[in-house]
Amino acid sequence: MSFAGKVWRLLVGIKDGLSLIFLLLFFSLLFAILSARPNPGQVREGALLLELDGYIVEERSKIDPIEALLSREAPVGEYQARDLVRALDAAASDERIKAVVLDLSRFLGGGQVHLQAVGEALARVRAADKPVLSFAVGYGDSAMMLAAHSSEIWVDPMGGAIIAGPGGNRLYYADLLDKLGVNARIYRVGAYKSAVEPFSRTSMSEESRQNYAELYGALWEEWQANVKKARPAANIDMATSDPAGWVEASGGNLAEAAREAGLVDQLGSWAEFGAQVAEIAGEDPWNKAPGNFASTDLGPWLTDIGRERSGKAIGVITVAGEIVDGDEGPGRAGGARIAELLDEALDDDLAALVVRVDSPGGSVFASEEIRRAILRHKAAGIPVAVSMGNLAASGGYWVSTPADRIFAQPETITGSIGVFAILPTFEGTAAKLGITTDGFKTTPLSGQPDFVGGLTPEVDAILQASAENTYAQFIGLVAESRNFSRDRAETLAQGRVWDGGTARQLGLVDQFGGLEDALAWAASQAELGEGEWHPRFLGSSSSNYDSLIRQLLTGGDAEGRDSADLFAMAARQQSGLFGKLASDLRRIIDAQGVQAYCLECPGQFGRRSLANDTLVSIIAN
């Protein structure tokens, strides 16, 4: 019996060992598949096909493949603007690429700075005598801004084009909070810091309305100027001054209305569009299905063209998304992560440093971590430039203050130098429910913050003083870095948001230009000529498994095109509304303390600062 037991235990051990080996092999194979880079051998003569099924962003978010598979939700596509520009510039001079094709049917948009940069790269392709053709079921503002740079714009006869322009309504919760008995305690510095208004008012203040009118007016003028320059035939006034009359004149046919206004050139299905492209780029030898043509996708193309590595390195650190404490990101600007990347690069003998900022702000502690790390590079004697993308507001401006020179675009949104805090307490709610509080206190801070019994006057005073102190520090950084008096900095602050053109006139930025301009300036300051330097993006890595995850979660159906009629657009707007509700709820429930959040910024889309770290965290968001 003892011998049989030993044999049995041996067999079980062998079985467990084999199972472990097979599991290790399985996960090793899975990791290899997920980590596989696009094969440059997939590049072939024909068109460069840019199927932009998602957003154009500054920095692609990190994707956890296991989490994505378990959630069974495909990650939203993200395309780095610099990758698209690099791909298009290479296509302009590569004989294998006969044309560039934009499939914008599932394009979700991007900031105006990114759209303009990609649009200028499309214009360089056309300047190289290569056609650019665009197709979509429906065009919105962002898709139209890209497509305007095309040689031909196609739209599905069942689709159309609608130009809405920036702006819209916000949600206000003051009455709701009053009915619930929630006391949204607000600590505010800055007359224009309207981020608190949804929780304290039932409508927009006149100061906020003035700021919005100036900001959105400037962005709208820039959008129109860019589209008209790229596409003189576009009659934007026809599509926007009386949109109902414009559509009714075409019998409710949005596609015909778009053609009548010069927004599109051709009406046709994807199959008809593909046949037209095939005449230019050649037929697909492997797939004869309607709509196919010889093409190369973005991933293999980027792998094939590689990156320039000659000469000295100019470091580029990206501060994209909300600035938060800790190691979060990419896609969110974790202060500790970015500071660590900068400190590791101190040993890399960089010729210069460019800080690329595309952020509405975030934690002041994290912003200060990043600022100090930038200053350590500056102390090493290298030039430091800041290149602002779509947003460099609040904490985004905080991290920009060490720069020797600040570059921005007319469409850049910056400023928002002001702070606030929202701390909800529920003494009113408790009273409605018949709940009371009582106890013994040794000091005015005992048991504080008391979210049910309420805050003491001393705590209120401490929180307001903390907000004012943070604001004073912010003003001091701006005054010192911009060589302003404190009075001058105070005048430009107050939480007011500026477009890039106005910010340049006011001295908050130095000159217009994109990332390439900032790099060229940094190279000149480092006394490096053309071909003697290359950019090194610190900490950047591509999400090689993104397309595979998408295919697994969508069943490999990459050819379907979403509906883009008015009802589909309304449904997508409704989804965005629920996201906004959730975001606002998180903002007041999280109660993260003193903030300088740029809610005026379109598309917007911790360690503690006090000895008692339960009281408040400083956020410049």
Dist CA 454 CA 183 (whole Å): 9
Contact call for residues 121 and 89 (beta carbons, < 8 A): yes
**Which sign does the torsion angle of CA 601, 605, 606, 612 carry?**
positive
Q: Distance between CA 90 and CA 87 in Å, rounded? A: 5
Could you say which of 98, 193, 400, 466 is catalytic?
193
Calpha distance 493→107 (Å, rounded): 36
Residue type, 443: T
The span from the CA of 392 to the CA of 496, in Å, is: 13
Active-site entry in 359, 387, 394, 617: 394
Q: Is 434 left (phi over 0), alpha (psi -120 to 50) or beta?
A: left
**Widest pairwise Cα distance in the chain:** 94
**3-class DSSP assignment, residue 313:** strand
Radius of gyration of the chain from Cα atoms?
27
How far apart, in whole angstroms, are the C-alpha atoms of residue 476 and residue 440? 42
CA distance 460 to 209: 29
Is there a catalytic annotation at residue 193?
yes
Taking alpha carbons only, the member of 522, 544, 438 closest to residue 32 is 544
SS3 529: coil
Q: Which residues of 98-107 are buried (b: 16+ CB within 10 A; e: fewer)?
A: bbbbbbbbbb
- Residue 394 known to be catalytic: yes
Q: How big is the CA angle at 122 (ends 120 and 123), to the nearest 5 degrees?
A: 65
What 3-state DSSP class applies to 327?
A: coil
Which residues are known to be catalytic?
A: 193, 394
